[in-house]
Structure 1
Amino acid sequence: MTPLGKLSGPHASACPGCGLIGPHSTGAPPAEHVASATCWRLYGELLARSYNNSDYRGVHQMIVDAYAAQHAGGKSRREVQTVALCLMTLCLFCEDAVDPADGPRRAAEPVRGVGAMAAYSP
C-alpha cells in the first residue's frame, strides 16, 4: 500500500485545505469545510476513534479545532467566527497549557459581543 502523501497520478487528489495527497474518493465534505473527500473521510475516522477510545478524549478538541482551522472556507460571520474560535482555542492549548476540555469556553470569553471579523485564508 502506498502511504498517503506519496500517491500521484489520476487516482490521487490533493486536499485544497491541508494539502494531503490521498486516493481519489467520492463524496463531498460539508460546504463550510474546504477539503477533499478523502481528507473528510479520514477526519471522520479520527473523530470516531476519539469518541470510542478514552485515550483520545484528552485531545478530541484539538483534533476538531485543527481540522476546522486547516479547512476553513466560508465567509459568513458564523464560519469566520468558528475558525477564529478554533485558532484561539489551539493557542490556549499550545501556548498556555490550557486543558483541551476547558479551551472552547475560555476562548469564547473574549469574542462575546464582537462584531464582524475578517476571514482567514490558510
Structure 2
Amino acid sequence: MVNNKTCPGCGVMLPNKNLEFSDQYNASGECIQLYHELSANFIMSPDVTFRTQHAVDAYGAQHSGNRVKNIRTAFSLIGLYLAVEREYTGRQVQHAHMELAKRNIKWSSFILPIRPYALSVADVLNIVEVKRNEMLMEWSKNVWDTWENYHEWTRNICKSYLKHF
C-alpha cells in the first residue's frame, strides 16, 4: 500500500517521501520538490518572456496561508492578474513586482479560498513538454479564478500603484 501525503496548500496527493514541510510556503516537502523541478525545467530552457514568473505566482498564491508572508500572497495575486487578465509576460510581471517593491506598502492578511484548486504544479510538470506553457497558463488561470474574492482588490492595487503598467 502506497503511503501518500496531501499538500496543505494545493491539496495534491503525492507519494510520501518523508520530506519536511516548507518553511516558506504552505506546502508539503513533496510538493515543493515538484515546484523546484518545474522551476529548474523552465530556467534551463531559454525564454526571454520569463515564464518562470507565472509559476512563481501561481505556486505562491496556491500555497498561501500558515507562515507565508502577506507580501508573497499579494505579489502572487498581482502577478496572476497581470498574466491572466492583462496577458503580461513573466518579464513584464517581474518589472511590475520591482516597481511595487520600491513602495512602502503594508500588505494586509488574506482569507484563503474555500473552493479547491483544480490544477497543481504536478499537472504542469507531468504534461509533455511541448504543452507545458499552455498548461502553465491554465494553472495560473485556475489559481486566479479560485481567488475570485480578491479580484477587485487586486485590480484596485494595480490601478493605484502601477499607473504606467
TM-score, length-normalised on structure 2?
0.59
Higher relative contact order (CA 8 A, sep 6+): 2
- Identity, % of aligned positions: 29
Runs (4 or more) in structure 1 with deviation over 6 Å come to: none
User: In structure 1, how many angstroms separate the alpha carbons of the residues matched to 2:93 and 2:74?
Assistant: 13
Q: Which residue of 2 aligns with 1:114?
A: 105
Q: Which residue of 2 aligns with 1:67?
A: 59
Count the aligned residue pairs.
112
Q: Which residue of 2 aligns with 1:4?
A: none
Cα deviation 1:45-86 (Å, max 9, x = unaligned): 11111111225964110011111111113457xx10121011
State the AA in 2 paired with 1:35: A
User: In structure 2, how many angstroms separate the alpha carbons of the residues matched to 1:70 and 1:27?
Assistant: 19
Q: Unpaired segments of 5 or more residues in structure 2?
A: 114-165
Root mean square deviation, CA, Å? 2.4
34-43 vs 100-109, which deviates more?
A: 100-109
Q: Which residue of 2 aligns with 1:96?
A: 86
TM-score, length-normalised on structure 1?
0.77
